[in-house]
């Protein structure tokens, strides 16, 4: 941790966290379970995090994020990574839960966001890998199913690309949803108390973000793929979302990670993170 960040993140805030590498001038802290967050860390996040989150999700309010930072919600997390700048302010985060959906242990991507000044820098993909890598190792040799609720086409594209396969993402335009994925999505929607709003054919949850008047954004983010943007525009209303289910093969992930490290060592360009992110209500 650089000296300037240390001054603004005292030891009682960092207690229980592991530092992760996220780039020059930034500090990433990993809590493997929300219950590890100290009272000081919770207070620090509650006093700084909401003002950042509303800039990433422009239709939300600081009260919305204060509720997300409640003790009950934090204690339920299986993993949380927060990136802080040199002044000790959070600029990016990812959070996950371990869930049993469709008779399988799944990785639930509960929330993620990046301050607009840091979007497109690779932070989001870097810190997601921190949480996802350990989950894939625990699941091996079985495939790991990652599940999330999202209305963001950029997030959809990023997670779809991360699998390294064309047949490991649901829903997908023009393809039916397999029965085992329907069961996963149904359990995920039930966990969100939105089972009655799920369309099992499209995996769309109607009014998924009903606790904000306009959804998460004043204008839905766009991706680097026009076809996905147009599909989301047809599929979703402003407050709707899909239950996205992505299958990761442990062997494929190991190979892809090795190739990524080789590319980095050779100074070749790696993929960038999404310009905007998603959140759980």
DSSP 102-134: TTEEEEEEEEEEE-GGGTTSSHHHHHHHHHHHH
3-state secondary structure of 213: coil
Output the pLDDT for position 101. 98
User: For residue 13, which phi and psi values (nearest 5 degrees)?
Assistant: -75, -40
Domain parsing of the chain, residue ranges: 3-265
Query: How many residues are given for the chain?
Result: 281
Handedness of CA 111, 86, 126, 13 (dihedral sign): negative
Output the pLDDT for position 278. 40
pLDDT digits (tens, 9 = 90+) for 7-61: 578 889 999 999 999 988 899 999 998 778 999 999 999 999 999 999 998 889 9
d(C-alpha 64, C-alpha 239), whole Å: 15
Output the pLDDT for position 193. 96
Query: Which fold is adopted by the domain 3-265?
Result: Aminopeptidase (3.40.630)
Output the pLDDT for position 271. 47
Output the pLDDT for position 216. 73
Residues 6+ apart with CB under 8 A from 74: 34, 35, 37, 42, 80
Output the pLDDT for position 279. 41
Q: How many CB atoms lie within 10 A of CB 1?
A: 13
Output the pLDDT for position 267. 64
Query: Residues in the chain with pLDDT < 50?
Result: 271-281
């Amino acid at each position: 941790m650089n000296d300037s960040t240390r001054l603004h993140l005292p030891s009682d805030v960092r207690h229980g966290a592991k530092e992760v590498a996220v780039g020059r001038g930034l500090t990433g802290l990993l809590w493997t379970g929300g219950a590890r967050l100290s009272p000081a860390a919770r207070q620090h996040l509650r006093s700084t995090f909401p003002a950042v989150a509303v800039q990433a999700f422009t239709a939300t309010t600081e009260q919305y994020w204060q509720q997300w930072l409640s003790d009950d919600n934090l204690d339920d997390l299986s993993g949380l990574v927060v990136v802080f700048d040199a002044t000790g302010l959070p600029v990016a985060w990812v959070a996950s839960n371990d869930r049993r959906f469709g008779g399988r242990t799944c990785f639930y991507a509960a929330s993620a966001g990046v301050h607009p000044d840091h979007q497109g820098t690779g932070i989001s993909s870097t810190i997601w890998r921190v949480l996802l890598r350990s989950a894939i190792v625990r699941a091996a040799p079985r495939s790991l199913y990652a599940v999330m609720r999202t209305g963001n086409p950029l997030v959809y594209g990023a997670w779809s690309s991360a699998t390294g396969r064309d047949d490991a993402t649901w829903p997908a335009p023009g393809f039916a949803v397999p029965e085992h994925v329907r069961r996963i999505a149904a359990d995920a929607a039930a966990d969100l108390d939105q089972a009655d709003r799920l369309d099992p054919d499209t995996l769309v949850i109607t009014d998924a973000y009903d606790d904000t008047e306009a959804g998460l954004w004043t204008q839905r983010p766009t991706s680097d793929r026009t076809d996905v943007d147009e599909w989301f525009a047809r599929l979703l209303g402003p407050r709707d979302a899909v239950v996205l289910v992505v299958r990761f093969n442990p062997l494929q992930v190991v190979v892809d990670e090795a190739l990524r490290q080789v590319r980095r060592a050779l100074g070749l360009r790696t993929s960038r993170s999404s310009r905007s992110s998603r959140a759980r209500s």
